[in-house]
Structure 1
């Protein structure tokens, strides 16, 4: 298939989400494009990482990016930190969802450790990029450093070996912990690198002890079902040719592991064990995403069960025919030879950038007809999500220039965290 998909155009269109779906007064980015929806701290952290890209690519003037970044960091530094149920954060971490205007906790949500990690990674990125000797850029560096230093990582362990998912003022720590290979790779590295409240090396060892090494569709790899779990830590960290103890034993690195996971996704779609419509060599990408459910129905003689938002995965499911084009884009650095043809399909055959202000909608399902009269002929999510938009902008940039990876290579906290986790090799 001819691959004339234009990643730069998609990158520019997608960045529009952060230009227009942000409260410029406090920098908070809406979680999804629905009425009266709250901000997501993860989306806000991704926005902080996207502003350097916007300057480099001419999507936003440097002065405007500095102003937006500074307003965001000032808000988080000055917002209420404490055990009160309507605060913005506690112990240097932040609530998953915040009111777009007041910045206070929304929906009685949890104080989220991993979403706080994405926010802090974005802040550190901004601190590395905005390096000019001006008062505003100096303040960006100062605030980014202070926000990172404030996070109390051992507190988030709640006296256990691994890190908890979060905490609520009404009920205390959540029962779940970050165990099994997933996006918490970034969380542990940030926690290990802290100069003020660091995790111990034993916490990383305890986390890695819960890994699952598997074989699927011709690939031996470190398993995680949803595709995004093989991507989000890689937005910030260049894992090429650096290895921890686990990867040294396997003879690969986390970058190669994500390449293999990407190929598993494609081959699963080619195999298409449940015979969903559309699946194939150029149409794949199964991850945590919104879907057309909950509901069931007979589609072309097959009884189908459809889900709403769920952690779809490969090869063990759940799988209801829902695909996420953003997750395909986020694998661009790992396997451009199969990602670019898939983008070609999504843009030109599936027309998933038509009728949209910000590039791809979140997900689509060719096996579900959607609402009558919809312009696609199948179900397409009506929303954009900030958590999806950021990796599109950033992984296209890592594919084009490696900008994010270059910035974080020079961040002493991230390099120190990697060394504490036992990583060696290449740029370390």
Structure 2
């Protein structure tokens, strides 16, 4: 998200880490201190392990969700001198998708899943928003903005797009006739119709702006250019029933910039779009939790080819391991933004600190199933004593530096559940793509997809 992309741009100069990271964050009170990873189940089949990893990771959103709002907490440990009240908008969208998976797999009753998501929606309706756009962070008890950075105290369009990616899936999934499901659909629709996406063109420019604040206006001045995790923002902005953008905003805003088109080869793999070597792997996860890349094409790329190439380059780099880090190899790979021994860092082949982020390989399951499964088995069977927890795998680890995170982040846990499910059943892809609004927006922007009804 914003922190990850801005961080990655800063980290094009190797060796830098995020200046906002505070040393030695205090550990949040944990009700799960008795969890013993050494007691985990052994000798699981592939299907059993997939089930376990998804279900355990889902607990981050279900068991650890904020008790008042139901929203996803930013992280499992206290950092940035904030307390346990910080909930995250985009991570909540990913969490909603995880709850849908849990309902479909009957880990929780469907009615409880609908009730939890409705609780989140009702809380959001009363929370701070700006032209219908939600901030990056909220206080999970009061709904008031928690400032993300000095001037970032207003609407965050990218975080809002991740939230609505999940809410649209929920609206398509909960189609029952119970009062809760009908109310949930209606309230999601009202919130969806109220997001003023075109407001973020800053007076009709042909580009979307990331932030607007009632206190600081447009002063952050951050235009959303590709290639990164923000394709979903333009897709939803074009899909809006009341405040849609025109195609020229997509063509002249998103599909521009120094890091949009690539076309070069890395490890003999052609990369259509993005940074050299692809950048952090979350670029291929966040948008595509809902947006189905299979057969998705426009004038700029085939997005299945893009995401598969990005993944294969990341894998090949880790196998090649030019910096000779301990622990890298065919069964231990995956570089993306996560916690590290130096703080929060946007790990990628061009910013490699020796840290493997489990979400990178696991959320790549649709694109590299054999390689992702090998990584999952290694993480669980061989390293589980150190990195398996009550909420699935920890956020990152480095065998080279003998460092193993204790933390979990919503934006890293959510894609594990959702992307594994998309690999297994395509559930979230089918739901999101079944929205008539989404289909209209994709058609407006010039996309082709087998799931777009003619």
- TM-score, with length taken from structure 1: 0.87
Task: Confirm or deny that 1:357 pairs with 2:390.
Answer: yes
Q: Is 1:172 aligned with 2:217?
A: yes
Matches within 5 A, 1:358-377: 358-368=391-401
Give the equivalent residue in structure 1 for 2:6: none
Cα distance change, pair 352–121 in 1 and its aligned pair in 2 (3 A):
farther
Q: In structure 1, what is the Cα distance between the partners aligned to 2:433 and 2:396? A: 33
Deviations 1:197-219 (A, max 9, x none): 01110111121133121321111
Any stretches of 5+ residues in structure 1 without a counterpart?
80-87, 248-252, 294-307, 369-377
| 8 Å contact from structure 1 (residues 287, 312) kept in 2 | yes
Once the two structures are superposed, residues 58-105 of structure 1 have per-residue CA deviations (whole angstroms, 9 ceiling, x without a partner) of 2111121111111111111233xxxxxxxx210111111111211211
Q: Distance in 2 between matches of 1:96 and 1:412?
A: 27
| Residue number among 37, 48, 51 corresponding to 1:8 in the alignment | 51
**Equivalent position of 2:256 in the other structure:** 209
Cα separation, 2, equivalents of 1:56 and 1:425: 25
2:124 matches 1:76: yes
Question: Pairwise mapping of residues 2-401 of structure 1 onto structure 2 (< 5 A)?
Answer: 4-5=45-46, 6-35=49-78, 36-37=83-84, 38-79=86-127, 88-107=128-147, 109=149, 110=152, 111-159=155-203, 160-173=205-218, 174-206=220-252, 207-210=254-257, 211-213=260-262, 214-221=264-271, 222-223=273-274, 224-247=278-301, 253-293=302-342, 308-314=343-349, 317-351=350-384, 356-368=389-401, 378-401=402-425
Larger CA deviation: 196-205 vs 100-109: 100-109
Structure 2: gaps spanning 5 or more residues: 1-42
Residues 132, 209 of structure 1: alpha-carbon distance in 2 compared, 3 angstrom cutoff? same
Output the CA distance in 1 between the equivalents of 2:449 and 2:197: 26
TM-score normalized with structure 2 length: 0.82
- Among residues 423, 433, 439, which one is paired with 1:415 in the alignment? 439
Contact 1:243 1:424 in 2 (8 A): yes
Partner of 2:377: helix, strand, or coil? Answer: helix
Deviation, structure 1 residue 352: 6.3
The 2-side partners of 1:128 and 1:416 are apart by: 15
CA RMSD of aligned residues (A): 1.7
Question: Structure 1 stretches (4+) deviating beyond 6 angstroms?
Answer: none
Q: Deviations over 1:243-271 (max 9, x none)?
A: 11112xxxxx2122111111101110122
